[in-house]
Structure 1
């Protein structure tokens, strides 16, 4: 090496690795699925929540491009209808239905419609979510809405649709769009309470009550102002915790659905789309919506039945 040349620093090396992986993902997306890999058909029903824009829209588009029937849902009817029309004009089989995962009545109405029209579904992509922080901001002003939407709403949606997951030899799929910010043992953004982390980490002892109680404790501390000294993540706190809960619930449900009998198999996994250029990130992300949607679509269509209760980013398994 010439003495005037500089070795790439850690940040530059990470950027190079990221760009190389993005190129690889882009290449993989150009490779069509073989007949052997295609377990789905035009009659396969996929539901994508929060799909009127951003990552959700792109997930719906990619799934429909692969030949599935996609139910695009949105809290906003006008936005959802416009998004659906745009995809339909491209020749894709996409149907719209209004859905607000914060409202039990809306979830019940949606499930009743699905049951009447299709009898059930084969794929659920839980994408709907919100965040009120961008950049270095870390306000918890809307913490209750963030937790209720990203975790409790997602959980309620999953529970409501579980009975409608159609039995088949191939099994049904549930994909949770989550975030690395919700990792239990991330180096910079984790819960300080080691005992609590260990409880949430032990999948054999993990319970829904424990996850709920953790979120409710945080919200109580937000209300009384003690959350800063409570040992919670200090970066995108409410969003990070909501996704931590989604990740934990995915691991829990992975264990639960693994106990189902043959022909009733369901495979549930979560994924991080990366920091995507969408309205949620203030268009400041590093990744395109096409790239951000890729792993969720890949998991939804994955033939490998050993993949269950796991966490992925860029088509690779990562630690919770």
Structure 2
């Protein structure tokens, strides 16, 4: 029998860790807990096992093409493909509401550019009927952007990946020009907002591409709520377990017809571009 496979990136702690635990309870197949640090990843697996849950572990750094390739080769050797992929890996320096260019580039490389590499290497392994869930944020809504040219561009039905890259690079140029252009682009935490808006736009572009190719693959993005994690320095409205609620709904319970949406933490769809 063909065993189903679920993969959660950056899942040794926080929301990703709770998604892994939820999938171990609800998903009929192998669940991969992945982390870029092997010691922390294996410690997270041990915590799961102490609760009677048994995820598999694999080292994975989404910012490294080599690491992604090694993981893809492992999946190819041991399984027939991927049924659920949760793109959860991401960073945010909560202490810096305005970052310098170097920090902004590192954040965008991790939160957004890595998705393009994941798309290139892991998406060919997606089975028909696969589900992709992108962990976004309420800061991933288009209204977080202040430049009119991008408000007009990112909603186009024929938007391309190249145009999303132009948007990201335009922001990085603003970050390079200093604090005032940075804030005028998307306000405080502008680099994080840009990374998540770009993720949202990419979600919709890729869903349209899957449909054009005749593939029954769903890809949706989700705002899990303001969750108390290490990344938010313990601030937030929800526990990580509550933050995993909507991602788990998309991964396991949502109808396969739900495609190319932006979902709120309470599992209702919102208009991304309002």
Asked if residue 52 in structure 1 is aligned to residue 12 in structure 2, the reply is yes
TM-score, scaled to structure 2? 0.93
Shift of the alpha carbon at 1:265?
Answer: 1.2
Structure 2 Cα separation of the partners of residues 132 and 158 of structure 1: 25
Q: Secondary structure at the match of 1:250?
A: helix
Query: SS at the partner of 2:222?
Result: strand
Q: In the TM superposition, what is the alpha-carbon distance from 1:118 to its structure 2 partner? A: 1.1
State which of 168, 180, 199 in structure 1 corresponds to 2:138.
180
- The residue aligned with 1:240 is 193
Distance between the aligned counterparts of 1:90 and 1:118, measured in 2?
26
Where does 1:103-182 land on structure 2 (aligned, <5 Å)?
103-134=64-95, 137-141=96-100, 142-167=103-128, 171-182=129-140
Separation (CA, whole Å) in 1 of partners of 2:133 and 2:12: 18
Report the alpha carbon displacement of residue 159 of structure 1 after superposing the two structures with TM: 2.8
1:177 & 1:268 partners in 2: Cα distance?
11
Over aligned residue pairs, what C-alpha RMSD do you find?
1.8
Q: How many equivalent residue pairs?
A: 268
Q: CA deviation at 1:182?
A: 1.7
Contact in 1 for aligned 2:133/2:247 (Cα 8 Å)? yes
CA deviation vs aligned residue, 1:298-319 (integer Å, no higher than 9, x gap) = 0011341221111001201012
Residue 260 of structure 1 deviates from its aligned partner by: 3.2
Deviates more, 1:192-201 or 1:85-94: 85-94
TM-score normalized by the length of structure 1: 0.80
Equivalent in the alignment of 1:249: 202
Equivalent residue number for residue 72 of structure 1: 33
**1:271-286 alignment, distance < 5 Å:** 271-286=222-237
1:197 aligns to 2:148 (yes or no): no
Gaps of 5+ in 2: none
Q: Secondary structure at the match of 2:146?
A: coil
Would the alpha carbon gap of residues 93 and 236 (structure 1) be closer, same or farther in structure 2, given more than 3 Å must change? same
Which has the higher Rg, Structure 1 or Structure 2? 1
Matches of 1:222 and 1:129, distance apart in 2 = 19
Most deviating of 275-284 and 192-201: 192-201
Determine if contact 1:42/1:67 at 8 Å carries over to the other structure. no
Note closer, same or farther for the CA distance 1:81–1:230 as it changes in structure 2 (3 Å cut).
closer
Correspondence for 1:94 among 55, 60, 63: 55
Gaps of 5+ in 1: 1-40
